[in-house]
A and B are shown apart, each in its own frame.
Chain A
Amino acid sequence: MAEATIREAGPVGMVTFRGDLGAEPVQRALGEVAGLDLPERGRAAIGARTLLWMSPDELMLVCDRGEAGALAADLSARLDGVHHLALDISDARTVLVVEGAVREVLAKLAPVDLHPSVFPVGAFRRTRLNQVAAAFWLVSETEARVICFRSVAEYVRKLLDISAEAPVAGLYD
């Protein structure tokens, strides 16, 4: 029996944001538009929408596909005069949903310590899955979301499928 199931999340809205994440106007605009507290370094803030910590000056807002453009415009309107970038880049990436023994499935593909003491639920990591750039976060102990560029989505999908074929080794029990 496969240890995990993998499916595409379907249409997902993604807004990239770059700016000074420590600046008060930026924090206020992001918090109000996303409806979330900003994530700590290396974390995902998960609610009705999701905010991913991409780098020291970059977050990604994951939302409904239909609202991404409006949210990006709303951010830019609120930050008129403040140096920033807010852009709907939903077409750039694909989101995959992994359910099951997600720690083992991901650990076989990424140079990441997935032990719960190091990578708890809510942790977010940009890294590689075998040969391509990807990122993932844990929604729960049995569900992970993986994002990768749309151009390599089929490759990543197959990687995850192959990784999920092997029986659970019990590394994280």
Chain B
Amino acid sequence: MLTLTCPCCGTTAEETEFAPGGEAHLKRVGPGSDDAAFEEYMFLRENPKGVHFERWRHAYGCGKWFHAARCTVTMDVFGTYSAQVTEPPQEIRDRISARRPGWSWREFA
């Protein structure tokens, strides 16, 4: 079971206190995009064995959204961070690099 720390209220709890919100850092493509780009945005998701980035909501707690970086194999949580960013903060990337050298995920590494 995952243990997450909500960066909004500071509470550390196991995953049943949270609600998963799917993949992190999706970039919306809007009107005028071609079908392939819209398909990519709407339907295609990463399914990594290892480092992954997700959105979570502290549903039973403070109610706020946040981001989490974790490993899908070991349930390690590398860190949680603000929902108000479009890419993982350097501090989080450094922490992942220390544990999983050479990692990459979408355009991030």
Binding site for B on A (CB under 8 A): 41-42, 54-56, 58, 111-112, 125-128, 133
Contact = CB atoms under 8 A, between A and B. Distances in A.
Given A42-B10, A42-B11, A55-B8, A111 B62 contact: no
A32 B17 CA distance: 34
Contacts, number: 36
Interface of B: 8-11, 13-14, 16-17, 59-64
B1 to A, nearest CB: 9
B60 A133 contact: yes
Contact of A127 (B17, B63, B64): B17
B63 A125 contact: no
Contacts of B10: 41-42
- Chain B interface SS verdict (over half): loop
Contact of A56 (B16, B59, B60, B62): B62
B107 to A, nearest CB: 31
Contacts of B13: 111-112, 127
Nearest to A54: B62
Contact of B64 (A42, A55, A112): A55
A125 B14 contact: no
Given A55-B62, A55-B63, A56-B62, A128 B9 contact: no
B64 A126 contact: no
